[in-house]
Amino acid sequence: MSDIAITLKVNGHDRTLQVPADETLLDTLRARLDLTGAKRGCNQGVCGACTVLVEGQPVRGCLSLSANCDGNAVTTIEGLAKGQALAPIQKAFAEAGAVQCGFCSSGMMLAATALLAENPKATVDDIRAGLAGNLCRCSGYRKIVDAVLSVVAGDGQ
C-alpha cells in the first residue's frame, strides 16, 4: 500500500507529509519532523510521555495514527514557548524544580496546559486527576503539582 498524503498543522505550521497507514503520530513527530520533545516510553498508551495536544486536547502520540489525524492541529512541547519566552507552565516547572530526569516533563506540561485551558482555577485534586495519565518514574509528583498550582495562583506572571 502506498503512503497516505496528510497535512498536519504542527505548532501553527502546516506540514504536508506522506506516511504509511500504521505510522504513529509520535513517530511522525520524532522521525520526520525532528520534534523529539514527545518521548516514547511504553508505546502502549500507559505512561503518557508521548502526550501531545490534538485540536487542543491531550492524546497519546503513540496510539494516534498520523493518517487518521489528517487536517488536525497538533501542539508539541516545542510549540509552547513564544520565541525565547517560555510559556507560564514551562517557567513554573523550572522555578518549582518540577523536573528530575525530564522524560515525563513534555507530556506533563502539555497535559497541564490542556487542563488549565479548561479549568484555570484547578485545585490540587483537579490537577492530580488531570495529570493521572502521566507517569513520573522519578516519582517527583509533588513539585509537578506545585508547579501547576503556581500557574493557577498566577505566580511569576
Partner 1 sequence: MSAPQFDLPTSLEEAARLLAEDPEAKCLAGGATLVALMNAGLVEPTALVSLRKVEGLAGITRAGDGSVRIGAMTRHRVTAGSVELKAGQTVVKQAASVIANPPVRNMGTMGGSIAFADPGADYPPALVAAGAEIELASVNGSRRVKAGDFFTDWYQTALAPGELVAAIHLPAGHPGSIGYYDKLARVEGDYATASVAVVLTMAGRNCAGIAVAVGACGPKPVRLAEAERKLVGGTLDDAALAAAGALLAEAADPVDDVRASADYRRLVIPRLVRRAVRSAMAQVR
Nearer to partner 1, 27 or 152 (CB): 27
Q: How far is CA 130 from the centre of its chain?
A: 13
Site for partner 1 in 35-64 (CB under 8 A): 43-45, 48, 51, 57-60, 62-64
Q: How many helices (H) and strands (E) does the chain have?
A: 5, 5
> Within 10 A of 13 (CB to CB), how many other CB atoms are there?
9
Site string for partner 1, 3-32 (x = CB under 8 A): xx---------------xxxxx--------
Taking a C-beta distance cutoff of 8 angstroms, is the pair 122, 148 a contact?
Answer: yes
When asked if residue 139 is in the footprint of partner 1 (CB under 8 A), the reply is no
Nearer to partner 1, 14 or 22 (CB): 22
Which residues, other chains included, contact 22 with Cβ-Cβ below 8 Å and sequence gap of 6+? 65
Name the site residues for partner 1 (rule: CB under 8 A). 1, 3-4, 20-24, 43-45, 48, 51, 57-60, 62-65, 67-68, 111, 114-115, 129-130, 132-134
